[in-house]
Amino acid sequence: MTRIDQTFARLKAEGRGGLVTFITAGDPDYDTSLSLLKGLPGAGADIVELGMPFSDPMADGPAIQSSSLRALKGGQNMKKTLAMVREFRTENQDTPIVLMGYYNPIYIYGVDRFVTDASEAGADGLIIVDMPPEEDEELRPAASEKGLNFIRLATPTTDARRLPAVLANTSGFVYYVSIAGITGTAAPDVSSVGAHVARIKAHTDLPIAIGFGVKSPQQVRELAALAEGVVVGSALVSSIEETLDANGQATAETKPKLLGFVEYLAEALHEPAEASAI
């Protein structure tokens, strides 16, 4: 059982959905980003998605695109991203880290070197946005051999004919993209998401995490009732950006604002259990 499997088993026992938080590695600089990464579990993150900065993130909206550019401008690269994971693991052996990004930086780094280094650093899974099932033979088998969950995206346009290919060889969880578009640009329609998630659940026992466009406790609460996890990304990255100074550097507000926002969202996942216990 992987660290991701163990986390969803724990969440099921606790009777609640999980909060999956996304930040971009190296945004706005290595030390600040590492400090934020280390603080996320204590603030309520059950799983952390760590973005691997890329100059052409086609599925990401303006907020995450800007975070990638800030990180790259600050000198972040794949070696430093994996170093962040390694440093995180010196203090935390429980919280899963999923590396999310695009294939080009992995190809340049070297596939075998990447999966070996990622596994040894303590990463638990991969979400490679631009790698469809038909093209994943260059990476997915090597990742699985190293014990890394290979997590795929399903979208509102993933129909019955396409779904089996998406679910094949997927492990850890299924990431359901709640809107047809890029990250952070629209709010998910809960009733529509519920219908799509129910359709996916009819074909897999894997946990499902719903993301794209989630930014409020109410959304977290409503979507968590439909699946096993809720992903918040652009809203968190935007909260980091709002605290930066005119030169794009972190300020004294950066860490408390980001972690305070995560705590605010995480409370929504504990409220139902607390209410039922009264």
For residues 234, 235, 241, 243, the Cα torsion angle rounded to the nearest 10 degrees is -170
Q: Phi first, then psi: give them for residue 48, nearest 5 degrees.
A: -115, 125
Domain containing 45 equals: 3-268
For the chain, how many structural domains are there in total? 1
Residue 172 lies in a domain: yes
Residue 277 lies in a domain: no
pLDDT of residue 276: 41
Q: What value does the mean pLDDT take over residues 48-57? A: 93
Q: What value does the mean pLDDT take over residues 261-268? A: 96
CATH number at residue 56: 3.20.20.70
pTM: 0.93
pLDDT of residue 183: 60
- pLDDT beyond 60 at 89: yes
Predicted confidence band of residue 274 (pLDDT cuts 50, 70, 90)? very low
pLDDT of residue 151: 96
Q: Per-residue pLDDT tens for 137-183?
A: 999 999 999 999 999 999 888 888 899 999 999 999 999 988 766 66
- pLDDT beyond 70 at 212: yes
Residue 276 lies in a domain: no
Residue 144 lies in a domain: yes
- pLDDT beyond 90 at 91: yes
Q: Compare 61 and 117 and report the one with higher pLDDT.
A: 117
Residue 70 lies in a domain: yes
Q: Which residues are catalytic?
A: 49, 60
Q: What b-and-e string marks burial along 109-145, b requiring 16 or more CB atoms within 10 Å of the CB?
A: beeeebbebbbebbbbbbbbbebebeebeebbebbee
Residue 278 lies in a domain: no
Q: What value does the mean pLDDT take over residues 104-116? A: 97
